[in-house]
Amino acid sequence: MHLRLCLSPFLNCFTGYKVFGGDFVSTRYYDVIVIGGGIVGSTVARELSRYDIKVAVLDKASELPSGASRANSGMVHAGYDDEPGSIKAQFCPKGNLIYKNLREELDFTLNEVGSYVCALDKDEIAHLELLLEQGKKNGVPSVEIISGDELRSREPNASREIIAALWAPTGCTINNFEAVLAFMDNAQQNGVELFLETEMLDVILSQDKRQVVGVKTNRGMFLSPIVINAAGVHSDEVARMVGDDSFIIHPRRGDYFISDKYVGNLVKSFFFACPSEAGKGITVASTTDHNLLMGPTSIFQVDRNKTATTAEGLDQVIEGARRLIPPIPINMAITTFAGLRADPDTGDFVIGILKKPHGFVNVAGIKSPGFTSAPAIAQHIVERMKNELKDLVEFKPNRKFVPERRHIPRFAYLSMEERSDLAKEDPRYAQIVCRCESVTEGQVIEAIRRGARTVAAVKIWTRAGAGRCQGGFCGPRVIDILARELNIPREEVTRHGGHSRMLVGKTKEYWFREGRL
Amino acid sequence: MSDITVDVAVIGAGPAGIAAGVGAKKAGAERVVIFERDWDLGGILQQCIHPGFGLHIFGEELTGPEYMHRWISKAREVGVEFLMNSMVFHMEDDGSFWIMNPSLGIKKVTPKSVVLAMGCRERPLGALGIPGTRPAGIYTAGTAQRLVNMEGYMPGNKVVILGSGDVGLIMARRMIWEGAEVLGVYEIMPWPGGLRRNIAQCLDDYGIPFHLEETVVEIHGKDRLEGVTVAKVDMNRKPIVGTERLVGCDTLLLAVGLIPENELSRMAGVAINPVTQGPYVNELLQTSKPKIFAAGNVVIVYDLVDWVSKEGERAGKNAALFAAGELKEPARKIKILGGSNVRLYSPQWLSGQADATIYMRVAQPIEKRCKVIVEPGAYEKQLRYARPGEMSEVQIKAEYVQSLGDVAEILVDIREA
């Protein structure tokens, strides 16, 4: 009841992009359904939008990205971490290249800062040599081992304890929010339909269980001969719905800190501790928006939905970060978060087209370097679908495909002339909303036009509320604008969908409740 | 992008900024313009609808809007100009800056002198590193105050307040008045962060439990806040294992500290004191950039608005003198050092050109007669008590500073009598 109340107005007010919420009565028909709108789902969706087919992306969250694609290190890896011959090693360096090539076309922020893996003792140097060897075999360009002193001459805040480091100049920091939005935005421009707050409940199969027919969701049926499983941390659950129990996902939680920008310049490149069994270790990096990012931990947990940080985890992050960069001050944090990696028990990506049922595609277990690999995986799997599933759908080129898209103007990073021109064109670009990150009303309105429906979505699109006061000033303004643009009461604006309402009612209501006066 | 030229530009139309405008105009500056990013004048006092302001300046207890109304009338009388809805978003190191305004677009302002009066902001949850989820229903006390007092909306019904800063205490009472349940105020320190009178009038009078040396250690709830775990802390402010208990609530208000807002000051290259997080200033409220002055909570977080207004006037006056070329290069530069029980103080420098008021906050409370001492010699001031939540001040005459001879530093401290 509550959901319907809060979402039904979205259907009426919507003009621009195809984002849907609300209950459906009628069944909808597609050629391909993608389950999950993370980096995997969105890169696959964009790849599919090159063809003249009807594609729907379903995601249970209220805003994209929501799962591991939202809460991660924001890193495009160089590709030396993965064992040569593995699927990861095949896709990671390719993905790295694709991001660099698409940066202009899709307008997301990517900084080629390079990365260091730091060795603190002799054993770790041996490990660096192994990584160097792997990097060469995987075709990673220009990796080399440098001395601790050489490292400190480039990065003066690096610890004195670091005796050597593996330097990979092709590692990049990426704005992971922008990247997911960019792929999905472009896919939508090219005809893909995105359904948020749409949770898949079951896969519908033909009577003989040999063919995919569609999916059942909380909003009704979506029928389609092809279903792509990009459900991230839930992908094994989805696979089991069609009888595929070849892999199990163990969620592995990572806790992170984000610092105030005033310490964002402590490092230039991405710093990794020497990796262990558990993962790549605690990293320190300056994000694309010049905050310092510290984390993640690597803790197995059973719950696939709980992204709560823990005290031990956060302590571990600070300790690990200071081991690499000792001058990181206390009280520099502006926020903490946790993400759940989709760690498959197979140890590698699960990518394939099932024989039975026909039409079911797995793009699952895309753990680190999953974000990096995603665009390469997307190209690969769509290429295979064109051959192996051509009996189900005809992959004719989409002649109207437009590869370019622009992000919402990033007011904070524009020159004075550009800002002035923008403000002349639309005065709402001279109306400040978020003071910390210099976000204007024009940007917030454009985000809503492109499908932002929650306070969190506005933050992901524009950075309003992502600064050092964390929405203290702009929070009430963003609620106002959302309510106004969506034509809903302010009490129905949510932080991140569902029951996450920001306000519980008007003042003075209490006194008019039954029996009070 | 034509320029706006002014004599004295004031950034911020809160209590410090408006007083600075008045001060500048009274000191003879020709064109004084206050740039304000909000639609209305008055800054944070617009939302402080409770009484308690103006006892020192007007001799009566006013509400925030009443207090500001008097200052705004004064500013209008003396001919201060205002530019509303104008965000200053970039400042050059020569003190010129850029504003954006929906009707004017982007403009450059080149003033002869500037007064920084941007105030402060509240420390957010993220700064505390409290583990758990991040649901809706967590607000800083000031944001909640804006929602309730100005916009007419309730942020929640069952409220826990973390920290005992003044805004948090005021909001505890305010939420009760609006029919919400306030389950308790938790303060990690052994003493309150806000004024004693607010503890009495906002918590005690309403039977709201006040827990010293307790804090929130975990946050629960996926969509909306469902509860917080609180625990006692030890002497190092670390949670004591075994003292945790769950408090069910749908709202957490934070009153865990105010931080001077110095983005523009930093852009302009003004030297910032890492302890106060505000600019280093002398008794003229001049920063390390001679053209740039600063006053109010942008310099140091005050306990009473009366002091903010007084300092604002002082900064405005000196900025006007600077703009007219009447302010001499300081002949002397004496550094003020804080003693062991002085946690924060301002100004940090004396030039000897004018009488000075030094404002201080103690590190440890002294609940008996104590004194402010200024060394070397000469100065002592008796106090009934000294508390971290309340400021102490001492006046220093210019003649004293001039009489110091070769002394390069003076020490201020607050000790038991």
Chain B residues with CB-CB distance to A262 below 8 A: 266
Mean pLDDT over A154-177 rounds to 96
CATH top-level class of B1-119+259-327: alpha beta
What chain A holds in terms of domains, given with CATH numbers, is: 2-68+177-248+347-388 (3.50.50.60), 115-169+249-342 (3.30.9.10), 411-492 (1.10.10.1100)
Return the pLDDT at A402: 96
Return the DSSP state at A397.
B
Return the pLDDT at A405: 95
Is it the case that residue A9 has pLDDT exceeding 50?
no
CA-based nearest residue to B305, from B95, B2, B79, B58: B58
Domain ranges of chain B: 1-119+259-327, 124-256, 329-417
Return the pLDDT at A11: 38
Alpha helices in B253-356 (DSSP H): 263-267, 305-323
Chain B residues with CB-CB distance to A438 below 8 A: 89
Gap from A286 CA to chain B (nearest CA, Å): 18
Please state the ipTM of this predicted complex.
Answer: 0.91
d(CA B54, CA B71): 11
Write out pLDDT tens, residues B57-103: 999 999 999 999 999 999 999 999 999 999 999 999 999 999 999 99
Tokens of A494: 């949510």
> Closest chain A residue to B89 measured between Cα atoms?
A438
| pLDDT tier for residue A7 given thresholds of 50, 70 and 90 | very low
| pLDDT tier for residue A10 given thresholds of 50, 70 and 90 | very low
Check CB contact under 8 Å for B1 and A416.
Answer: yes
Return the pLDDT at B404: 80
Check CB contact under 8 Å for A476 and B143.
Answer: yes
Tell me what percent of the residues of chain A surpass a pLDDT of 90.
81
Smallest Cβ–Cβ distance between B126 and the set A335, A431, A435 belongs to A335
Chain B interface test: which of A432, A493, A516 (most B C-beta within 10 Å)? A432
What mean pLDDT is reported for chain A? 91
Chain B residues with CB-CB distance to A500 below 8 A: 135-136, 222-224
Return the pLDDT at A23: 56
Is it the case that residue A471 has pLDDT exceeding 60?
yes
* Contact (CB, 8 A) for B289 and B268: yes
B176 three-state secondary structure: helix
* Contact (CB, 8 A) for A336 and A296: no
Tokens of A279: 């993962």
Instruction: Indicate if B329-417 has the same CATH topology as B1-119+259-327.
Output: no
Return the pLDDT at A265: 92
Return the pLDDT at A359: 96
Write out pLDDT tens, residues B209-259: 999 999 999 999 999 999 999 999 999 999 999 999 999 999 999 999 999
Gap from B186 CA to chain A (nearest CA, Å): 19
Return the pLDDT at B312: 97
Sign of the Cα torsion B127, B130, B132, B135 reads negative
Amino acid at residue number A278: A
Smallest Cβ–Cβ distance between A510 and the set B104, B142, B178 belongs to B178
Mean pLDDT over A438-450 rounds to 95
Gap from B15 CA to chain A (nearest CA, Å): 18
Return the pLDDT at B2: 62
The topology under which CATH files domain B329-417 is Immunoglobulin-like (2.60.40)
Mean pLDDT over A68-74 rounds to 93
d(CA A69, CA A48): 20
d(CA A88, CA A99): 16
Gap from B135 CA to chain A (nearest CA, Å): 7
Return the pLDDT at B331: 67
pTM value? 0.91
* Contact (CB, 8 A) for A61 and A67: yes
Check CB contact under 8 Å for B224 and A501.
Answer: yes
Chain A residues with CB-CB distance to B220 below 8 A: 308
Q: Among A36-50, A263-277, A335-349, B398-412, which is the least confidently predicted range?
A: B398-412
* Contact (CB, 8 A) for B109 and B9: yes
Query: Which stretches of chain B score pLDDT less than 50?
Result: none
* Contact (CB, 8 A) for A19 and A11: no
Return the pLDDT at B405: 76
Our answer to whether residue A499 is catalytic in this structure is no
Mean pLDDT over A276-299 rounds to 86
Gap from B59 CA to chain A (nearest CA, Å): 32
Check CB contact under 8 Å for B140 and A509.
Answer: no
Size of interface A-B (CB pairs under 8 A): 156
Check CB contact under 8 Å for B101 and A419.
Answer: no
| pLDDT tier for residue A19 given thresholds of 50, 70 and 90 | low
B124-256: which CATH architecture?
3-Layer(bba) Sandwich (3.50)
Chain A residues with CB-CB distance to B223 below 8 A: 494-500
Element (H, E) at A322: helix A311-324
Angle at B43 between CA B37 and CA B44, to 5 degrees: 130
Smallest Cβ–Cβ distance between A503 and the set B85, B124, B154 belongs to B154
Chain B interface test: which of A504, A508, A510, A514 (most B C-beta within 10 Å)? A504
Chain B residues with CB-CB distance to A513 below 8 A: 179
